[in-house]
Structure 1
Amino acid sequence: MLQEVVATRYVTPLREGGSLPGIVEADDLGTYVMKFTGAGQGRKTLVAEVICGGLGRRLGLRVPELVTIQLDPVIGLGEPDQEVQELLKASGGLNLGMDYLPGSIGFDPLAYEMDAAEAGRVVWFDALINNVDRSWRNPNLLVWHGDPWLIDHGATMIWHHNWPGARASAAKPYDASDHVLASFGPDVAAAAAELAPRVTEELLTEIAAEVPDEWLVDEPGFDTTDALRRAHVETLLSRAVDIHERITLGARTTRPSSRAPGWLTEQARPWPHTAKKEPGAGDGSGDGVDGVKDGEK
């Protein structure tokens, strides 16, 4: 299970994304980038962070360590920003934290090199989880101590926003043409040979068990949280078998607008929202706009 800590001080908001994550200090003396249950993208963003972040770490990719963070809304009473106050008040209880990487900078493919093998592992992983938000426009890669770190996996597994259509959604190809690492000639075949055998039912079950029950309850079509966890496991397990055969690397697009899907852009509106509701089947709740430029480690 993920380590649970208690937030002791809210340091500062990170305003690069629609969910308004913030840097917090905790009772373990750690500093974390905190993502909130009360943010507009909803708790499914946190579910995606736990599953995909946990999977990435177990596959040997550099992903900041995750914790759950207990938040007492009273911590926001001293905040002068009304927007931050409202978010903290709406997020009492269990939230998600990612280890803060002090001094990290955003990855620029024009300034940094990456070999084809490592690029292939990242592209294959993003294809597996259907990450729509690691493009050259918004890399969601940080360079820390000279190494690239993968951050912000809230806009992944888009099928879990519409479980009735999950099988068809998960069977679709993955277009990596605009992936930030596409220019490094990613060797996805080698990555698949190395990583796919490691994506086992046992591994995915272990990772899914780390998602708190309270972020999984009341999902339409599922009687129990364990049944919902099982759906996550089965979808990723089937996708791992042949996703490398469905990765396309075409010409990079040049239009400046975001390629994020409508369900994401509609949800990534500024806080506060007029009404807070949990996303149900077919609703959009992906994050993916924060980046560890957001401060994540």
Structure 2
Amino acid sequence: MLTEVSATRYVTPLREGGSLPGLVEADDLGLYVMKFSGAGQGRKTLVAEVICGQLARRLGFRVPGLVGIALDPVIGLGEPDQEVQGLLKSSGGLNLGMEFLSGAIGFDPLAYGVTAEEAGRVVWFDALINNVDRSWRNPNMLVWRGDLWLIDHGASMIWHHNWRGAEASAAKPYDAADHALAPFGPDVKGAAAELAPQVTEDLLMECAAEVPEAWLADEPGFEGPDDVRRAYASTLLGRARGLAERITVGAPAGRTGTAGWREPR
């Protein structure tokens, strides 16, 4: 299960995301980007963040640390913004926090180069979780201390919004033509050879076990949280098989394959 902390202070809203996440301070003195259980996208956004974030970490990607954050709605009483106040009041209980990477900047493909190997790994992973939210319009990647970090996986695993069609949905191809790293000539087959053997049932169940039971309870069609966890693991395991053959990237757009910051011209 996730480590749990308690929110002690709401610092500021972060208006870059549609779910209006906020920066909060917790009783462990850490700063976290909190995603709220009362946001319009609901608890499945939090479930996707946990499973995909923990899976990414186990596969060797850089992702912010995740915690569960207990929120007392009283924190929202002094918030002048009515939208934020309403969100805080509706999110009492357990929410999700992501480690705040102070000083990180948004990924810019014109300023930061990525190798074909790293691009391939990210594209393959996004295809696995069916992440439709890492396009050039909204990369959802940060550069922190010179390294590339992956964030915001709440829009992934779209099949969990309709479990009856999960198996068919998971078998669909993945069009990466719009992916933020498509211009870097992703080596998807090389990534598949490295990553696919690591995606086992045991690994996926480990990731699903991190999801708090409260976010899995009362899921229609399932007997209980453990049954839901097995459904996540089974669907992702099936999707991993032969995935590289179902990924369409398109031709690279002439970017170099040098990793790191580009020298200004």
* Bin of the TM-score, shorter chain as denominator length: over 0.9
Task: Write the letter of the residue equivalent to 1:184.
Answer: F
Q: How does 1:223-242 map to 2 (within 5 A)?
A: 223-242=223-242
What CA deviation, in whole Å up to 9, does each residue of 1:65-114 have, x standing for no partner?
Answer: 10000000011111111111110000000000000011111111111101
Gapped regions of structure 2 (runs ≥ 5): 253-265
- 1:45-84 equivalences under 5 Å are 45-84=45-84
Contact persistence 2:129–2:236 (CA under 8 A): yes
- Does residue 90 (structure 1) correspond to residue 114 (structure 2)? The answer is no
- % same residue: 79
SS at match of 2:78: coil
Q: Partners in 1 of 2:107 and 2:224 — Cα distance?
A: 40
Cα distance in structure 1, aligned partners of 2:2 and 2:214: 14
Q: Is the 8 A contact 2:51 2:208 kept in 1?
A: yes
Q: Decide whether the 8 Å contact of 2:2 with 2:212 is kept in 1.
A: no
Query: Per-residue displacement from partner, 1:103-143 (whole Å, max 9, x unpaired)?
Result: 11111111110101111100000000000000001000111
1:171-182 to 2 correspondences below 5 Å: 171-182=171-182
Where does residue 119 of structure 2 map in the other structure? 119
2: CA distance, partners of 1:207 / 1:135: 25
- Note the aligned Cα RMSD (angstroms): 1.0
Deviation at 1:57, TM superposition (A): 0.4
Q: 1: distance between equivalents of 2:17 and 2:105?
A: 16
Matched residue SS, 1:217: coil
TM-score relative to the length of structure 1: 0.84
What CA distance in whole angstroms lies between the structure 2 residues aligned with 1:97 and 1:184? 31
Q: Identify which of structures 1 and 2 has the higher relative contact order when contacts are C-alpha pairs closer than 8 Å and 6+ apart.
A: 1
Rounded to whole Å, the distance in 1 between the matches of 2:167 and 2:201 is 17
Structure 2 counterpart of 1:206, one-letter code: E
Aligned residues: 252
Could you list the structure 1 runs, at least 4 aligned residues long, displaced by more than 3 angstroms after superposition.
Answer: none
Q: Deviations over 1:205-231 (max 9, x none)?
A: 111011011101111111111111100
Distance 2:29 2:244 in 1: 41
- Deviation of 1:251 after TM superposition, in Å, equals 6.4
Q: Distance in 1 between matches of 2:46 and 2:165?
A: 21
Any idea what SS the aligned residue of 1:77 has? helix
- Measure the CA separation in 2 of the matches of 1:171 and 1:26: 41
Partner of 1:186: 186
